[in-house]
Amino acid sequence: MYLWFIQPILQSVVAVVLWRRKLHKQFPVFFAFLLVQVLIFSVTYPIYEDYKWYFWLFWGGEAINAVLGFKIIHEIFLDVFNPYHALKDLGTPVFKWAGFVMLLVSVVVATSNSFGQDPLVHAVTTLERSVRLVQFGLILFLILFSRFLGVSRRQTSFGIALGFGISAGSQLMLLAMKTGGLVGRVNFNLIDMISYNLAILIWLAYSFLPTVARETAVNHLQTQRWEQGLAELQPTGTNDSLIPMFEGMVERAFSRSSTLEAAENHLTFPRPTESVRAKSVAVGSKGPGSVA
């Protein structure tokens, strides 16, 4: 209970620091996430003993958290790829389709109800696990490719991703251990809340760090080649769909193949000499009925 009670206090401090440093304009979804957490606690804590109301409000809040958590991933993605407009344009529709697919899978799993759980709990749990998996993958991506993207590990976006990654990785590990019967409900909740409080402390520490510029790494040339390649393939429209881009890729591939074929047809090969023609005739005369 103490671990639960301290969460809204730390989240309120993080929100105040972000507001005073004007970082809420750069990360509005994360700022809204912090405020929603405080609001959910203020509503659910007084009715903790009333199981019926607490059940619906808790799982309703978890659904909101899953949606906001996915939006925060997109917000971090846009901040990380801010200098690369083509990569940002490609990632935005991908995130939209990924969110739609995760929501669709959650609804399908809830309607099947093959595990004997409440449909709401099953749907929200499936959606939340999907978001957690993406959050954990995001911090791994930033750790591995931060040098290529010029992302400093002192940036606020990196700290937000680090906090979510630690909490998500811990929860995914606990879920696997709980499925295998290696951890009970009490220890599960205890470790999960400790890891989440650690994530809030990481956000608090990064909220106090001064704003840093992007690093100038030597590997930026490779990332710029990715950017240039996508910029050449992307159509000059404002359409958000991936289909025009793929159509442009196919058209460019066909145009290149047709150009190459035309060039091959116009090539002039040297005439074979008499000895070469004689050898080819001798070889070609050995048909099925000939004797070696």
Give the model confidence (pLDDT) of 99-124 as tens digits.
Answer: 667 667 666 665 665 555 677 777 78
What digits encode the pLDDT tens for the residues 271-282? 444 444 444 434
- By the 8 A CB rule, do 150 and 214 touch? yes
Residue 99, pLDDT score = 66
Whether residue 246 is contained in a domain is answered as: no
Q: Which of 16, 69, 14, 27 is nearest to 155 (CA)?
A: 27
Question: In sequence order, what are the residues at sequence separation of 6 or more whose Cβ sits closer than 8 angstroms to the Cβ of residue 58?
Answer: 44
- The domain total for the chain is 1
Nearest-angstrom CA–CA distance, 206 and 203:
5
Structural domain boundaries, residue 125 = 2-215
Residue with tokens 């019967």: 181
pTM value > 0.85: no
Q: Hey, what amino acid is at 124?
A: V
Phi and psi, residue 221, nearest 5°: -60, -40
End-to-end Cα separation, the chain, in angstroms: 94
What digits encode the pLDDT tens for the residues 55-99? 888 888 888 998 898 889 888 888 877 766 666 666 666 667 676
Whether residue 287 is contained in a domain is answered as: no
Q: Which of 209, 212, 173, 216 is nearest to 191 (CA)?
A: 173
Whether residue 251 is contained in a domain is answered as: no
- CA Rg, the chain, in Å? 29
Whether residue 27 is contained in a domain is answered as: yes
Whether residue 248 is contained in a domain is answered as: no
- By the 8 A CB rule, do 192 and 170 touch? yes
> What secondary structure letter does DSSP report for 77?
H
CA angle 28, 30, 33 (to 5 degrees): 110
Whether residue 220 is contained in a domain is answered as: no
